A and B are shown apart, each in its own frame.
Chain A
Amino acid sequence: MKAMTYRGPFRVRIEDKPMPEILHPNDAILRVTRAAICGSDIHLYHGLVPDTRIGQTFGHEFIGEIVEVGSAVDNLRPGDKVMVPFNVYCGSCYFCSRGLYSNCHNTNPSATAAGGAYGYSHTTGGYDGGQAEYVRVPFANVGPQKIPEGISDEDALMLTDACPTGYHAAQLGDIREGDTVVVFGAGPVGIYAARSAWLMGAGRVIVVDHLDYRLDFVGRWAPAETINFTGVTDIVVYLKKATDYIGADVCIDAVGCDASGDILQTLLGKNLKLVSGNAIALGWAINAARKGGTVVAIGVYGPPYSLVPMGSVMNKGLTLRSNQCPVNRQLPRLFEHVREGRLRPSEIITHRFPLDDVADAYRMFTSKLAGCIKPVLIPDGMAA
């Protein structure tokens, strides 16, 4: 089968790989109909995530059709059209039984610091991902959901990771009526977080980024006030002015370790890899939050360490909340929002590529070319 494979930092290509097999009675094999490239795939693409091995297939956002199931899978059968949350989880360990599906202890032998995830290096379990024609889906009895009535395929694709993550970020902020929410990063997760902040009752939503075309989109779609931080000498001071010198009630860092905006962090993190990427967006979120406010770190950071102003967290009495999103806990409510028209997740998709053009898709996404916000990959024969 054709599958995207990683060849080194900034290098990917399509290769012929063996078909995935049932290796456990709870496995299923899925034929992928749509796969998306996530902003966190770009961290892998840049070589920022440890234990990213040559030859691995990325892709944790995908939907498709079941073609084979293991002996212990009784809720799905071949032919079912399903959406697959990015979490690989068992549903029965200490953490899954408490609803922390993104922190499963039974699916990632390489690290307790992360749960299992598709196509996200061996640091999250070493599973091949869905940017391929077929993919192995472990614990198919708990993870994949049949795509319900009233949800289009592309909406379902966005509901496997990006949309629930943004929605989860807004919930972590514990937003109350009238709160001022500042979202750092106008990528897909930041766009969904800005929209979700209004659903939670925010009084003001501000999105900060350096790309005008993304700020234009979120300004229209969420909607939101937008600030291009390249036009400001000090974004934290500016945000304090914009909030009567109090600071924001909730700051959401939806950027992660691939941030731009600080030379020292870029040198140490992104170039020399001595720390985990560039954490300047989290630093801005901490400094721009009001005393007693909440900071949500939903952007992805890898090991080992990040340069973060913890002194400010302590002295300002901030609440710092974070986690990978347990997708299946969000879906019932998100399906309601989509059916009622409050959320239209597929509207952020800007580009669709054949799977064969995966190298071009990654280049376009990472270099922010041609107004790209969210690219989707379509395997051969799945264009309809």
Chain B
Amino acid sequence: MPVADASNPTGMTSQRDVKRSRGEDPYPLPCHRRNAVPDYYKDVDGWGADLDPADRPMSQRELPSDVETVRGEVEHRQTPTHPVFVSNEMPDLTPVFGTSCPPHGLSGRMRRLAFEYGEGTGRHWVTLLAADRVDMIESTLGALFRGAPDNIPAEKGWLMRLSGGSPMKRRLIVAAGAVTIFMMRRLLPPASPLTRATRSLRRAW
């Protein structure tokens, strides 16, 4: 264990001893920079404009109110046209709700199951996450069987990753792609079921 004293705060005796234990960094380090901060903190432009807490919008965390029911005044209610899953911590369907992506297929059944559990349980959220993955598989396979397969490289922005990343990363990605294509052509027999199944996909791309 290195011994630290006033003349040698980190206790390191030579460069070889600098297998730094965690936390034994000298202070300050080059990665810690002062930048444009003025010497006196009050010289920062706009300093103290909200120094008085009364000037801050959230000085009162909650505003006074005499509303005592959870829903308050509800004048109009939206009419659902498809199943909307409601948390069992809610008294009923909210007056307004989103209508994006109605539940469907196996993922929809999984979501319905998830809502039988409360928000405080892991089962509720993990089931929803699993349903999200099933939804993705259903959607991707559905597009494939409809003859309009997803253009996954474009959806993932791979071209941006190639053009926007560092030159070394670009070379690695191109090399990995070339090796993958080479190995696929060598390993896949010409008339294999996989080759036939992916023919339309490859033509689309």
Contacts and interface: CB of A to CB of B under 8 A. Distances in A.
B55 A333 contact: yes
Contacts of A200: 48, 50-51, 56
Q: Which of B60, B85, B128 has the most CB of A within 10 A?
A: B128
B90 to A, nearest CB: 6
A127 B100 contact: yes
**Secondary structure call for the A interface:** loop
A382 interface: no
A224 B95 CA distance: 45
B71 interface: yes
Interface stretch (A6-14, A32-40, A278-286): A6-14
Interface of A: 7-13, 23-26, 47, 50-57, 72, 88, 90, 92-94, 96-100, 105-113, 116, 122-123, 125-128, 138-139, 168, 171-172, 174, 177-178, 196, 198-205, 215-216, 219-220, 223-234, 237-238, 241-242, 273-274, 302-305, 329-330, 332-333, 337, 340-343, 359-364, 367, 369-370
Nearest to B155: A11
Given A72-B75, A200-B56, A11 B22 contact: no
Interface of B: 20-25, 27-38, 41, 44-51, 53, 55-58, 60, 62-79, 84-87, 89-90, 93-101, 103, 107, 111, 114-115, 119, 121-122, 124-126, 128-129, 131-133, 135-136, 138-140, 150-152, 154-161, 164-165
Contacts of A109: 84-87, 90, 93-94, 97
A367 B163 CA distance: 12
- Top 5 nearest A-B pairs (CB, nearest first) are A363-B157, A219-B35, A231-B31, A126-B98, A237-B23
Nearest to A273: B129
A111 B87 contact: yes
A332 B150 CA distance: 45
A180 to B, nearest CB: 10
**Secondary structure call for the B interface:** loop
12 contacts: A54-B136, A126-B97, A215-B33, A219-B36, A219-B37, A223-B36, A223-B44, A227-B31, A230-B31, A231-B29, A340-B46, A369-B161
Nearest to A334: B57
Contacts of B75: 25, 72
Given A99-B60, A201-B48, A359 B156 contact: yes
B119 A112 contact: yes
Nearest to B65: A97
A54 B102 CA distance: 10
Contact of A51 (B33, B131, B155, B156): B131
Given A369-B164, A369-B165, A107 B41 contact: no
A348 B133 CA distance: 34
A216 B133 CA distance: 38
B94 A224 contact: no
Nearest to B152: A11
Contacts of B97: 107-109, 125-126
Contact of B72 (A106, A227, A332, A341): A106
B71 A93 contact: yes
A123 B31 CA distance: 39
B83 to A, nearest CB: 11
Contacts of B79: 23
Nearest to A128: B100
Nearest to B121: A304
